[in-house]
Chains A and B, each alone.
Chain A
Amino acid sequence: MSKVRVLVGTRKGAFVLTSDGKRNNWDVSGPHFAGWELYHVKGSTADPNRIFASQCSGWFGQVIQRSDDGGKTWTQPGTPPGESTTGPGGMPKGESNKFVYDDSKETGKPLTTHQWYDGTQKPWAFKRVWHLEPSLTDPDTVYAGVEDAAIFRSTDGGKSWHELAGLRGHGTGPKWQPGAGGMCLHTIIVDPKNPKRIFVAISAAGAFRTDDGGATWRPINKGLYSKYIPEPTAEVGHCVHRIALHPSRPDVLFMQKHWDVLRTDNAGDSWQKISGNLPTDFGFVIDVHAHEPETVYVVPIKSDGEHFPLDGKLRVYRSRSGGNEWEELSKGLPLRDCYVNVLRDAMAVDSLDKCGVYFGTTGGQVYASADAGDNWAPIVRDLPPVLSVEVQTLA
């Protein structure tokens, strides 16, 4: 019997929601790391029992947690309780929390500046990990997207991290600027057919791609139009909120930008707007059906100034044609007095025969649909504000 595990990161801890394949009855465990912000919790495809979590706090900084038993128990990689606190060479452990920009001559890039809100330049400074993306094939390899925007990689299960400095060192860095939530690298997608190709997205710099495993990167923002920046078609500076792809077609990506929903059919070389009949094309999340590469989901949000659903009605929109034609999905969702938001990492799909779709809200609800979005029901209603939702489909 198949099983589904939903990993939920919130403002005050992590929760693990599990169900059998029917997805009617759910067991809720948590809060794990109570009182801490969990920006992202994601399981490894290569070893589903291995789950990585980004735990942080304005008081105590960044911590990385790992579970090797499907979320039942957690340790900071390299420092499990009861183990020696030093490594074989006598060096102290505790490196798993350490994210240091690589400015070495050999592998790094100089620590330059990016644009600040007031237009001045400000040096890069690490703040937190927004997104953890495990390798699709190696359970010890995981990527981290951080604020201020950069990508790190661990090849030892999260014990130590090294920056892939070619991205931060891209010559356009001084033109990158923080979005309202900070200058975060929030999306990492590893091409399932070519592990040397990785896509990332940064608010507010845009989307970037590497074709050589992270050594060099290039902006892939042609076709994006952002009227709120000095040059609306600039190479960088766009506030990309989220990108998603279907594993069978890694050249086709879908994007929810600050405003506009877009797609590319050539791995980001050029984008076309597919907002079509959406009631508003502002939003944060976007995801793709597990079995239908042209079926895409978004949650329209009223505007950048009003981060809640239009008319107080929480609705998912689905396109079965790869964009432009969208249908409202609202059965089981609140259709009055609903003023929550759905943040960029808070939607995911499972891969059961009838694709399940899940999303979490800033009101603490996690909604699930076991029939590709036709009908919805809350799994939980009263969690802390939800920051991220990921799903594991287990045999």
Chain B
Amino acid sequence: MIRVILPPHLRGLAHVSGEVELEVAGQPTQRSVLDALEARYPMLSGTIRDHITQQRRPFLRFFACGEDLSHEQPDAPLPDAIASGTEPLLILGAIAGG
């Protein structure tokens, strides 16, 4: 079971209040987790990755186990702690403003 923590705006959009739990076959990667997330919550399509390019939106970041994974390759394996469900994958909105 993969655990994902969404930023508040996306929790509202997906009508969820806490963590999201997803079944992902095989070794989880950013791509497979996001595919599973969007399949279960299609209203999130296009909000984390661009519809066409599938690139991460510039103001969103991916964190896990205290590490910034935002620049990892989409098909790179996620840490074992994510795969086992010990740690959640955090999707964060960058702090931007001024």
B64 within 8 A of A: no
Whether B46 pairs with A61 at a CB distance below 8 angstroms is yes
Contact with B along A71-84 (1 / 0, CB 8 A): 00000101101000
A93 within 8 A of B: yes
Chain A residues with CB under 8 Å of B7's CB are 59
Whether B38 pairs with A60 at a CB distance below 8 angstroms is no
Whether A93 pairs with B9 at a CB distance below 8 angstroms is no
Determine the main DSSP class of A at the interface with B.
loop
A98 within 8 A of B: yes
The size bracket of the interface on B is 20 to 34
Chain B residues with CB under 8 Å of A63's CB are 13, 43, 47
The interface-forming segment of B24-32, B52-60, B67-75, B77-85 is: B52-60
A30 within 8 A of B: no
Which B6-32 residues sit within 8 Å CB-CB of chain A? 7-10, 12-13, 15
B63 within 8 A of A: no
Whether A98 pairs with B42 at a CB distance below 8 angstroms is no
Contact pick for B47, options A34, A85, A97, CB 8 Å: A97
Whether A92 pairs with B38 at a CB distance below 8 angstroms is yes
A361 within 8 A of B: no
Contact pick for A94, options B10, B12, B44, B52, CB 8 Å: B44
C-alpha spacing A62/B40, complex, angstroms: 19
Whether B96 pairs with A58 at a CB distance below 8 angstroms is yes
Listed A/B pairs (11) with beta-carbon separation below 8 Å: A59-B9, A60-B9, A85-B40, A92-B42, A92-B45, A94-B42, A94-B46, A95-B45, A97-B46, A98-B51, A100-B51
Q: Chain A: residues with CB nearer than 8 A to chain B?
A: 33-36, 57-63, 76, 78-79, 81, 85, 92-95, 97-100
Known: A76-B13, A93-B42. 12 other contacts (CB 8 A): A36-B9, A57-B9, A59-B60, A60-B57, A62-B46, A85-B40, A94-B43, A94-B45, A94-B46, A97-B46, A98-B51, A99-B51
